[in-house]
Structure 1
Amino acid sequence: MPNVSLPKGANALIASPVHRGLRMELHWTAQSGTQEVDLFILLLDANRRVTTNADIVFYNQPDYLGGAARYLGRSDTATGHAHKAEIFLDRLPKEVHTIAVAGALDSEESRLGGLSSLELTLSADSGTLFSIPCEGLSTERVAVAGEIYRRNGEWKVRSVSQGWTGGLPDLLRHHGAVLDDGSAEQKSAVDGSGVVNPPASVPEPDPAGLAHLQDLNHQIREREAVLAELESRIVETREINLLQDLGIYDFAHPLEDAVQYKDRLSQLRASIKEVVKERAVTGATNWAVNGDIKKGAQMVKEQCKLMLRAYNAEADNCVRTVRAHSLDANTSRLERAKTSIEKLGKSMAIAITDDYHRLRLDELKLTADYHAKVAAERETQRALREEAREQEKVEKELQKARDKMEQERDKYLAALAIAVDSGEPDAVAAMQQFVEEAEAKLRDIENRQANVRTGYVYVISNLGAFGDRIVKIGMTRRLEPTERIRELSGAGVPFLYDIHVLFFSEDAAALETQLHREFESRRVNKVNLRREFFYASPAEVKEAVKRLVGVTTLEFKEESEASEFRLSLSLTEGV
């Protein structure tokens, strides 16, 4: 997965396998060496509170449930500082709904707004998943940088940047930790570790104030329940759509081609027609109407048919509209339809059978896969046609250059013959040199025609279209490689591509393959490998090229000129 930077309030799905663990780092840089930040991880229940003080992980309490969450220590470099921790989401109890990750200053005089930077990063085996910069902090002494939370059976991450000016005690009280501010010694313990044991005696609270507080808490829980119910009805597909639009889609049924998918769909629909006759819906068998079991059975049967018709109408509509990018949305829609029907038919125990529902879900997934496979095959054919057109252009260009060079060589040979006949040694030597140069160029062209692996490897970017973290790595056999770059800068992109390097190689195909392998984990489109875009900076590709070709002095432009894009920005700002 690519590194995604989440602004304040944004959320995203954690697609990495949770059993492999997530690594988190809280980074900060400060103008003063006295500005020290501590890491606190709070494991919260559905009410966003810790059950006990043991649900807080920090340097004095580094382990939770035998390693389900663990503080790993601190690292310091010349560029900044970081606290490290890891968490295994699949090991957490079901009661843990949210993991809040906070940074707290250990000095009462310091403020988070005085830090040069404060950022939380989440990583997995595949690399950095998310960067969460803390934004909008000023006088706060503690802040929750981000949260990891459960949503519809999956884990998501959210950028928070919520701070408290009162420091760590305010944060802990807000989330239900037990503190004691009664003595100077105990207060020091709060400032140092933030967590202490309950006091031996607690002053009696004001009854009126306590009743008011309980009433407020009750209202909050009621509104949170309503919000949770509303959110459960919303199918959140924004992050999934983004990934699938980039081509990251896993086939549930990895068949060879669209024809096989069509055959499998026909078989599946035949099974659906068979099951729908007898085993698609169930209902009560002891229902009676005016004491008559037969009439009751007839009524249940009629209601079952009505409910099944409603379910099938929803399922058919999902199948008609589903595409690869909307599979999860349509799956959730069909799940909700089944749940709604069972609620409406509860009095008669009417329910869609799990076997039939599973068949309809399989049909939905297979249909999404079929459309994705058709699109992939269409894209493959388009790419093959594009490659054939490019090859034809190369052959015509090389043949034209060869014809021109043969004519030039013949011209020099004729001039050489005239010089020999005239007996002018200087003219003979000059013409001989021209002939040799022409023949050398001709041999080079003939080699280019014979060797399809010879050409230029190019690294290009388009700041205005894709940003500063995406490059295209490709090759061309053109004699003038910039012609190919100009063609790529056509109507498909709003701005011209910037060329960072054009490197000629006798085996450009192998060098291109090596570079693609070098950045394989950062491919933008992991399905269509002909899309040669990668999440990388030009500087990173430069180092890879130098390492692979063994060239220490390589002419490489690390900065994107992006003249059209920058001029467009300036014109927009001037409006």
Structure 2
Amino acid sequence: MELLFLVLLVAALLVWGSSLQRQVSKLKDRLRPISSIELYAKTARRIADSDLEKARDEATQILSAAKQESSELEQRIASLRADAKSAKQELVRVNEGLRLIADDAHLLEVGYYRPVYGFEDLPKYQEAIEKIKEAQKSMLRVAGEARDKAAAAYATRPINYNGSEAQGRKLLKKVLQLMLRAFNGECDAFIARVNYRNIITMQKRIQSSFDQINKIADAWDCQISRKYLANRLEELGLVYEYAKFQEKVKEEQAWIREQEREEEKARKEAEKRERDAAKKADSVEQAVREARQAMEAAAESDKAAFRKQIEALERELANALEDKKRAKSLAEQTRTGYVYIFSNIGSFGEHVFKIGMTRREDPEVRRRELGDASVPFPFDCHAYIWTEDAPTLERELHKHFEPRRLNLENERKEFFRITIDEIQAEVEKLKSQLGIAAEIRWTMLAEAKDFRLSEAKRKYLQFGNDRS
């Protein structure tokens, strides 16, 4: 039994020893490369260098790819920004176009146009318009397809069509013709419709038409020149000023005709005054002759009474002859008359006065004429100033109060926003300068009877309705 145990133990030890020997052999094989520290260090360094080189190559590839992607992103961002800018510009043009072609209610907003030319007569305006038309014709005659920038519209580069540069020029010529036909058609329509209410709008419409047509033709590298745009805008302003000057001429002619009618009435009144004075003088002179004849035929006791009668008639005759002489003198004078100061609170409000002139013998006729059906209330008179040079006094007052004029476009409208005290002070200053000897009676407060009664009645009716 013990022998068997020993045999088994020996066998087990042999097996374990054999296994241990194999393990030791494998361990030696694995540890053989590092058996030498120097050999191990070299091997590790070689492996590390190889790994580092691979890492560098990978890092270089990653960095190159990142740079490429960054460049592509930058290009894409730049492209998107350019698209956004172009879209914004297009949106502005579209909105402007929609605003201009939509409801014309915006024309109610009147823009101020500052005159550029200010010619003194119509022929000069006509000459300027002709010059503009000649400049247009000159630009239209230039071949824009040859890229000549002096043309009304021109191409910025040549193109080939069907492989032919000649056919490309023909195509460009047709494109340019279509552009100019569209632009000129719209400009002509805008210019034909221009007036004081839409002058600023029409300028914007021409500019919008220019931008839209150039945007459409941009694909062909064609554009209308800015010089031609400036020419059409200049034509618009000139035509507007010409039409406005025509209106001014008509207004001045109407004013002249009114003045002529006024002078004719004044002349007839003066002639009637002269005839009446002469008739009265003749009548008194006849009475004097008859009284003298009667005195010669009368008894001596009655002659004293006739002498007194004749003396009274001779004094009356002297006055009549003086009136006749004065009436004749006034009829011959063309500058004598009244400068009047009127107000109309009900029609124009407080502190608005009309400063005008009349040559009528009775200036009240002029006040009644002004208070006709064209205004709701009659005018009140604050002063009638008689002078031998009424036009000069009127002109000086207008000149002094020019900045206070209500209508700055029509100088024939003689209304000013001032106070009666200011007018009186200026008249007193001008009296010595212009030699006005007549006394002036001032009415400082306007009666405005109809207006005040109307206001009182309106309040009464309003309160009466409220109480009911």
TM norm structure 1: 0.52
Counterpart in the other structure of 2:400:
518
1:543 is aligned to 2:425: yes
Unaligned runs of 5+ residues in structure 1 are 1-221, 244-248
1:270–1:483 CA distance, 2 compared to 1 (3 A): same
Could you tell me how far 1:275 is from its partner in structure 2?
A: 1.3
Task: Give the percent of matched residue pairs that are identical in Structure 1 and Structure 2.
Answer: 30
The structure where helix makes up a greater share of residues is: 2
1:475 is aligned to 2:357: yes
Counterpart in the other structure of 1:486:
368
Distance 1:570 1:273 in 2: 68
Could you tell me how far 1:353 is from its partner in structure 2?
A: 0.6
Counterpart in the other structure of 1:327:
199
Contact 1:285 1:297 in 2 (8 A): no
Distance 1:291 1:557 in 2: 93
Distance 1:430 1:460 in 2: 42
Could you tell me how far 1:357 is from its partner in structure 2?
A: 0.8
Counterpart in the other structure of 1:357:
229
Contact 1:324 1:371 in 2 (8 A): no
**1:436 aligned partner, one-letter code:** A
Counterparts of 1:119-518 in structure 2, within 5 Å, are: 240=110, 251-278=115-142, 279-285=151-157, 300-420=172-292, 421=295, 422-424=303-305, 425-518=307-400
Q: Deviations over 1:160-186 (max 9, x none)?
A: xxxxxxxxxxxxxxxxxxxxxxxxxxx
Distance 1:303 1:231 in 2: 22
Contact 1:286 1:297 in 2 (8 A): yes
Could you tell me how far 1:569 is from its partner in structure 2?
A: 5.1
Could you tell me how far 1:380 is from its partner in structure 2?
A: 2.2
1:556 is aligned to 2:420: no
Output the aligned Cα RMSD: 3.6
Q: Deviations over 1:526-553 (max 9, x none)?
A: 5654443333333321221122225998
1:358–1:508 CA distance, 2 compared to 1 (3 A): same
Q: Deviations over 1:499-519 (max 9, x none)?
A: 221011222232222212222
Q: Which structure has the larger Rg over C-alpha atoms? A: 2
Contact 2:110 2:196 in 1 (8 A): no
Contact 1:546 1:552 in 2 (8 A): no
The structure where strand makes up a greater share of residues is: 1
1:314–1:564 CA distance, 2 compared to 1 (3 A): farther
Distance 1:296 1:416 in 2: 110
Counterpart in the other structure of 1:50:
none
Could you tell me how far 1:296 is from its partner in structure 2?
A: 6.3
**1:268 aligned partner, one-letter code:** I
TM norm structure 2: 0.63
Contact 1:475 1:509 in 2 (8 A): yes
Unaligned runs of 5+ residues in structure 2 are 1-87, 143-150, 296-302, 463-468
Distance 1:494 1:300 in 2: 66
**1:341 aligned partner, one-letter code:** I
Contact 1:458 1:473 in 2 (8 A): yes
**2:131 aligned partner, one-letter code:** Q
Distance 1:252 1:563 in 2: 47
Counterparts of 1:105-120 in structure 2, within 5 Å, are: none
**1:403 aligned partner, one-letter code:** R
Moved more, 317-326 or 390-399: 317-326
1:552–1:429 CA distance, 2 compared to 1 (3 A): closer
Could you tell me how far 1:392 is from its partner in structure 2?
A: 1.4
